[in-house]
Structure formats: C-alpha cells, structure tokens
Structure 1
Amino acid sequence: MPRDLPVLIVDGARFSDLDGFAREFSRLLSGYTWRGNLDALNDVLRGGYGTPTHGWVLRWVGSETSRAALGHPETARRLERLLPSVDPSNRAAVEARLDEARRGEGPTLFDEIVAIIREHGPGGREAADGILLELR
C-alpha cells in the first residue's frame, strides 16, 4: 500500500446506528455533510465532496463493532424509514428486502457500505478513485 496516501479514520466505537455512522463519516469530510443516503455515499467517494482528491485510505477501526451496529435490525429500520417514499414500481423489492432483514437474513447495512467503498478501490468498477479500505 502506498504510504503517501492520506488516511481518514472511521471509529466504530463512536456510533451505534446509520445516523451515527453518517455523522462519523461526515466528520472526515471538508465542508460537506453526508446524511446517510447510500447513493449519495457513492457520489462522495467519487470526489468533490470534501475527500482527498487523488486517492486515500479509509481505515475503519472497530469494524466488528460497526458490523453489529449496522446489522440486520438497523438494516430493517432503514428500510422501514425508506418504504413510504419508495416508487411503487420498486415497493415489492424493498418490502422483500425488509422481510429478509427482519428474519436476520441477507446483506446488512454494513455489508452494503463496505461493498460501496470497495467499488472505489482496487478491482472495483470505480477503482480510479483510489480508495483503499482497511477494516480493523
């Protein structure tokens, strides 16, 4: 790993839900507040929203704590909050994901966030962004 990349640190001990993660992640951004929308996270990682411009390391300390905090119960809570605003053409899919999360099955918010970040690093579709994720 290149040693000259800036290192931004997310501390899993500093939050216990998606809103808290959004606050913790936003603390890393210069002049921008991310509010927890996963599509917007993709945009932030592409650059121009207060992140370093030429690649960086996202070091997620306490990631196992975050894995629990952003697990199936928090995933279900997020989907419940989204459901009223979901387009009718997508409602059945969101309801199916919600049922799955309530059963403790399927990807969690933690899984989704990690996957989004990894898309912006080595081997990802947006690898040119140069984000290296370290889970610790």
Structure 2
Amino acid sequence: MTNTYVLNANDFSNLIEFYDLIGELLLPDEFWGKNLDALNDILSGGFNIPDSPFEIVWENIEKSKNDLGARETIIWYEAKLFTQEDNRQYIRNQIAELRSHKGDTLFDFIYDVLSENSSEILVEPNRATFKM
C-alpha cells in the first residue's frame, strides 16, 4: 500500500510555512533541520524516512511557483549574507540574477530535491505527484 502525503500550496505561502507543513506530513512530532539538505536526507532515507513506498502530491503547484519565487528566494539569500561570510559574493551574484528575472528560485530547488528522490513524477495541470 502506498501512503500519500498531500502538500497543498494553499496551506503555505513562504519557505518557513512550507518546511512546517512538509515536516508535519512526513515526520509528525519529530525535529528536523528545516532546510533543503535535511529534506533531501529525509527523502533519500538518511533520516526517519516515512514507510515506503509513498508519494507526495503537490497540489496548487502554480501558487507555489509564485510564493517560492524570486521574492522569497531573495529574502532567503539575504539572510544567508549574515551567516555565510565565505560565500557572500556568490550570494550577491545570485540575488542580482534573481532581480534580473534569471536564476533558480526556492521553488526550483525544492522541486529538484523532490524529483531527484523520486522513482516517477506525474505532472498534471496545477499538480505534481512524486513517487518515492
């Protein structure tokens, strides 16, 4: 039997809320790092992976493209400027690209993490299903 976890974009509007929701779905009552590396660890089996097989259905995905788009990504990068001294120039370059409507967004990063850990991806209008 496949467990299905529904990640509805109407239930979050920024990165922190996304992390809260995905954590509640995959690891209820568990502490996890709430970052992209930790999400990758969970999905790849490195940390308390949910019973397999499972799938994540990302509903209202178009909303997430906007909510986790350039604006939210710039905020995320700007926070990193204070904690990653060695990467400041790289971070500034990423921010400049996003302001020029180029570069990858948080949506892209999250979608990539889900995709890389999936055996199959089903894309439908305003929905994607990641089979793990």
- Asked if 2 retains the 8 angstrom alpha-carbon contact of 1:47 and 1:53, the reply is no
Letter of the 1:99 counterpart: A
Query: Which stretch shows the higher mean deviation, 44-53 or 106-115?
Result: 44-53
Q: Does 1:20 align with 2:41?
A: no
Name the structure 2 match of 1:44. 42
**CA shift at 1:102, angstroms?**
2.3
Quote the residue 2:96 is aligned against.
Answer: 99
Structure 1 residue 40 displacement after superposition: 1.4
SS of 2:28's partner is: coil
Give the 5 Å matches for 1:90-129.
Answer: 90-122=87-119
Deviation at 1:34, TM superposition (A): 4.1
Matching residue within 5, 10, 13 for 1:8: 5
Separation of aligned partners in 1, 2:101 and 2:40: 26
Give the counterpart letter for 1:96 in structure 2: N
Structure 1 length-normalised TM: 0.80
Residue 93 of structure 1: how far off its partner (Å)? 1.4
Tell me the alpha carbon deviations over residues 1-32 of structure 1, each in whole angstroms, 9 at most, x when there is no partner: xxx32111101001111011111111112332
How many Å apart are 1:91 and its aligned residue? Answer: 2.2
Identity %: 32
Give the deviation of 1:133 after TM superposition: 4.7
Shift of 1:49: 4.0
| Of 77, 80, 102, the match for 1:79 | 77
Between structures 1 and 2, the one with greater strand share: 2
Q: Residue type matched to 1:6 in 2?
A: N
Sort the Cα spacing of 1:99 and 1:11 in 2 relative to 1 into closer, same or farther, 3 A.
Answer: same
- 1:47-66 to 2 correspondences below 5 Å: 47=45, 49-66=47-64
Confirm or deny: 8 A CA contact 2:3 2:52 kept in the other structure: no
Letter in 2 for 1:64: E
Structure 2: runs of 5+ lacking an equivalent: 128-132
Q: Which amino acid aligns with 2:74?
A: A
